[in-house]
Amino acid sequence: MMHLWYAAVGSLPFEWTQYTFMKTALLAVILLTPLFALLGCLIVNKQMAFFSDAVGHSALTGIAIGALLGLAEPAWAMVAFAVVLAVVFTVARRYAVASADTVVGLVMAFAVALGVVILSRGGGFASYSRYLIGDLLSVTAADCAWIAALAATVGVLWVVAFNTFFLVSVNSSLARTRGIPVWPAEAAFAAIVAVVVTVSVQWVGLLIINSLIVLPAATARNVARSMRSYVLVACAVSLCSGVAGLIASYYLATATGATIVLVSMCLFVLSLAGVRRAHA
Amino acid sequence: MNERRAGAHHCATCGECCTKLIDIGVRIGSAVLLRNVNLHMHCGELTVIIGPNGAGKTTLLRTILGEIPHSGRIEHRPRRRNGDAPLRTGYVPQRLDFDASAPMSVDDLFAGALSGRPVWTGISAGIRTRVRDALSVVAADHLHNRRVGTLSGGELQRVLLALALTPTPDLLLLDEPVSGVDPAGIELFYDMVSALRQRYDLSILLVSHDLEIAARYADRMVFLNTTILADSTPAEVLSHELVRKTFGVSYCEAIRHNAESGHASPHHHHVHEESVVS
């Protein structure tokens, strides 16, 4: 499978297509960016952007727990911790202990502090700083297989259960009167966000992953008038800025994730021109 | 129109279909929100619940919707379907709390509720027709393409009413559904609800602060304050001592007089009902 991809991309007449790491990274970008956009559309609708940001930051705690347990590969600890956190958030929101923003802010600060304290014991934090910025060019063919599996899972869910998540995002009471089990749907959605965000953090970096999720949806909102155009425009924006950002980062020798965010931001600014038309 | 109405009334008096609330009680911590609530609702009947603030009116609706744990039970004898079919409720909230800037059309909202096909892949022609039909019942078919966030208060409530009616519920719950809507919009909304009750033979339970509206449209009026204190025709409930004490004697008397003299309110007219019923 991969060698077909390498051959196809390698046949393109560009300098960067000669490098395997670029070809692998391109595949990862093509798989990940629409995934971010799909999640982002509902995250922005549900006004959960702060939540997905917190989940990204909590990856640090997951890594720390993994390190304490002596795991060679902290990814599992990260994902497990993030899913637990997602469920805790959902429960906290349901019982309204404090306002949702406050709960998320508190838990995020706690998770980051705990992670940093554990990881910085003996002054060893520097070796973990790659998680802050991420390195898309380090993605391997095996990683791509995992990403493809994740994308396929979310894709299937977005076909089978999108309307459920959509109605819950509009108004939970309304969804309940339509026979939707609101609380399981909320928890499932938060868990999916947690898994996708934490799995992607090592490549994209926890400082900017949320921009990759929120920006395409925010851009699409400026021009879309229906859910269909919203989701499709968000996916297109995400994919275009992903590919353009990857190539730009090669020539500029900059961090890939951050470069993608800047391209995405440019598209957002352009989309502001469409605001008045779409909101008429 | 008269034939249609006569035909639609086949079970208003047969007692075949009804929803019964039996001994409903709700307590949160040590606070008793509802106690011994017994209420039978028959199809084709519009029951209005009135009561002071904090009387438990909205709590009662949310209990029927299954959002609040309660004691007692809700029994339901449905029409057309077999006996153990669950109670199908339609609900129009006081105010739909949603993200007004979301790129969501009225079509999207309906398709999301009615169809399993993910809304972002498009909406089938069949569903679009169904949405148009549902909207035409509340004279809102022209709104199908509009973003939900751009609808006026009255338009949104009509769209939500159409959604609550698709598919036709056994019991329609309306929670002060027109707060923040202009007088003409209120009039239009209740004329529609009143006509729908007859067209679909619905049981309707309406919570209202507006005694004048309540008296004008209700078949039956229930005065609730933690428990049911009066349950009868609007004229009788408005003569009830506790009701008069709560809302004021002269106010109750004026409204009762209006309602008894055949809906004599100068604002009341039936122009909209034509388009709704026929």
CA B234 to chain centre: 17
Residue A183 tokens read as 């609380």
Between CA B107 and CA A200 the distance in angstroms is: 35
Cβ <8 Å between A227 and B117: no
Beta-carbon separation of B120 and A230 below 8 A: yes
Domain spans in chain A, listed from the N-terminal domain onward: 2-278
pLDDT confidence band for B253 (50 / 70 / 90): confident
Q: Is residue B35 assigned to a domain?
A: yes
B224 located within any domain: yes
pLDDT at position B266 over 60? no
Q: Has residue A47 got a pLDDT over 90? A: no
Domain assignment present for residue B49? The answer is yes
Q: How many CB pairs under 8 A join A and B?
A: 88
**What integer pLDDT is reported at residue B66 of this predicted model?**
84
Domain count, chain B: 1
Q: Is residue B82 part of a domain?
A: yes
Cα separation, A266 vs A74, in Å, equals 34
Q: Where are the alpha helices (DSSP H) in B46-171?
A: 57-64, 106-114, 125-137, 153-164
Nearest CA distance, B144 vs chain A (angstrom): 11
Domain containing residue B222: CATH number: 3.40.50.300
Chain B hits for A227, Cβ within 8 Å: 103-105, 108, 112, 119-120
Distance from CA of B141 to the nearest CA of A (A): 17
What pLDDT was estimated at residue B8? 35
Cβ distance of A227 and B147 shorter than 8 Å:
no
Angle, vertex CA B236, rays to CA B232 and CA B239, nearest 5: 135
ipTM associated with this complex: 0.86
For chain A, say whether B101 makes contact (Cβ under 8 Å): yes
Query: Which of B98, B101, B164 is opposite residue A170, by nearest beta carbon?
Result: B98
Q: Which CATH superfamily is domain A2-278 in?
A: ABC transporter involved in vitamin B12 uptake, BtuC (1.10.3470.10)
Does the predicted model carry a pTM greater than 0.90? no
For residue B169, being part of any structural domain is answered with no
Q: Chain A partners of B89 at a C-beta cutoff of 8 Å? A: 177
Which range of residues forms the domain containing residue B227? 16-88+203-277
pLDDT at residue A97, rounded to an integer: 62
In a domain, B63, yes or no: yes
**Cα B181 from Cα B208, distance rounded (Å):** 14
Residue B94 lies in a domain: no
- Answer for the pair B221, B234: CB distance below 8 angstroms, yes or no: yes
Decide if pLDDT at A265 tops 80: yes
Residue of A nearest to B110 (CA): A167
Segment B26-48, tens digit of pLDDT: 998 889 999 999 998 888 889 99
Domain presence at residue B126: no
pLDDT band at residue B78 using 50, 70 and 90 as cut-offs: low
Q: What's the rounded Cα separation, in Å, for the pair A136 and A28?
A: 8
Residue B275: what pLDDT? 39
